[in-house]
Homo-oligomer: A and B are copies of this chain.
Amino acid sequence: MSADEANTSPLERIQRPEVSKETAKKIALVEEQFIRAEVEQLRQSTLLLRPLFEKRSEVIAEPDVRDTFWTRVMLNAPAEIEEYITMTDATILASTLKNLTVERFEIDEKAQGEPRSFRLTFEFRTGDENPYFENEKLVKEFYWRKQALTTAKGHKRTWDGLVSEPVRINWKKGQDPTKGLLDAACDLAEAEKKGGDRKKLPEFAKVIEKREEIEAAEEQEEDEDELPEDGPGGMSFFAFFGYRGSDVTAEHSQNATKEDNERFEKLLKGESVDGEEEDDDEDDDVEDDFDDIEVFPGGDELAIAIAEDLWPNALKYYVTDQSIEEVDFDDSELDISADEEEEEENDRPRKKTKV
């Protein structure tokens, strides 16, 4: 025990471990290996579980289940999803949502590809059965992309995460719960494709204006002490279809991924890599003007919660009665076994099953 150690209590030493740069690097490398192993497992399990998800789709297409399945699942969902669904959204979903599918579409039959990209397909009633919008399907694709960035001070960083394009909803007159925000996001993305500086586009100003309107309305509601029945920032769930994340192209991402893999391979071999010696500097940020135009911040978290939790655990959410307890409802009329209703919604194997 050094003289230094003798002066600190065991709890203090645990609260401030003095880890060398060298060891911190080793820790970071092993952690990256774990993350890569997790991605590989997701790749394998995506392929293995596909037949089971298909079987589930058949079961929930049964006439006595299909009309209520996905809405019930969404309303029983964990807080991280349910918080985004306003009462208005719930009413729209309850009367129109027919089906939901999640596909990790970049995984081929040999389990090759990026398993963190996925496609959400929402299917809806149409015509007179849908007083809200015209779309029969809303297809929202999320691509896992990596971006090579340079900080204000010239250091290299990478970002990786989900990017997506806004998906337009053809609202019937006066029915848009996003109050024009989703349309503005779609208009901006379309205008950007025609070229020009984003910030000079009139569609850019329109997105900012719509965001401010919604924030102002939300603040007023809060002042008036109304019931907080809206999602974060007063946002409708349907604004989620406007999520973009970032605008990393597939090509940029491929190059950044290739470079990153090379860096990782070098580290594995014990070779040194550029930039590794940099000090961390919390003030040395990457400029990101995407924050200004993101109409649904947290859209990536929500998308991941849908793909990683709601989708694989849908049967569990269907048979729980979490949201039901809050309303006047007689349990006994629900034709699902009591055992199943009482199940916890974690994803570890059940403790009790019936013979």
Contacts and interface: CB of A to CB of B under 8 A. Distances in A.
Interface string A254-281: 0000011001000000000111001010
Interface stretch (A104-112, A235-243, A315-323): A315-323
A335 B18 CA distance: 6
Given A27-B59, A59-B23, A160 B352 contact: yes
A340 interface: yes
B14 A33 contact: no
Contact of A41 (B17, B28, B41): B41
Interface in A68-121: 68-69, 71-72, 75, 90-91, 94-95, 116
B21 A158 contact: no
A30 interface: yes
Interface in A148-176: 148, 156-161
Chain A interface helix/strand/loop/mixed? helix
Contacts of A55: 30, 33
A20 interface: yes
Contacts of A75: 14
A95 to B, nearest CB: 4
A195 interface: no
A318 B67 CA distance: 47
A25 to B, nearest CB: 9
Interface residues of A, number: 95
A200 interface: no
A308 B52 contact: no
B335 A263 contact: no
26 contacts: A10-B95, A13-B67, A14-B72, A14-B75, A15-B72, A15-B323, A15-B329, A16-B329, A16-B333, A17-B69, A17-B72, A17-B335, A23-B59, A23-B64, A27-B315, A34-B56, A38-B347, A44-B44, A148-B355, A157-B352, A157-B355, A158-B354, A159-B351, A275-B354, A282-B338, A304-B348
A-B residue pairs, 9 tightest by C-beta: A10-B94, A10-B95, A156-B355, A17-B68, A19-B335, A280-B338, A161-B351, A280-B337, A26-B59
Interface of A: 9-11, 13-21, 23-24, 26-28, 30-35, 37-39, 41, 44-45, 48-49, 52, 55-56, 59-60, 62, 64-65, 67-69, 71-72, 75, 90-91, 94-95, 116, 148, 156-161, 259-260, 263, 273-275, 278, 280, 282, 300, 304, 308, 312, 315-316, 318-319, 323-324, 327, 329, 333-340, 347-355
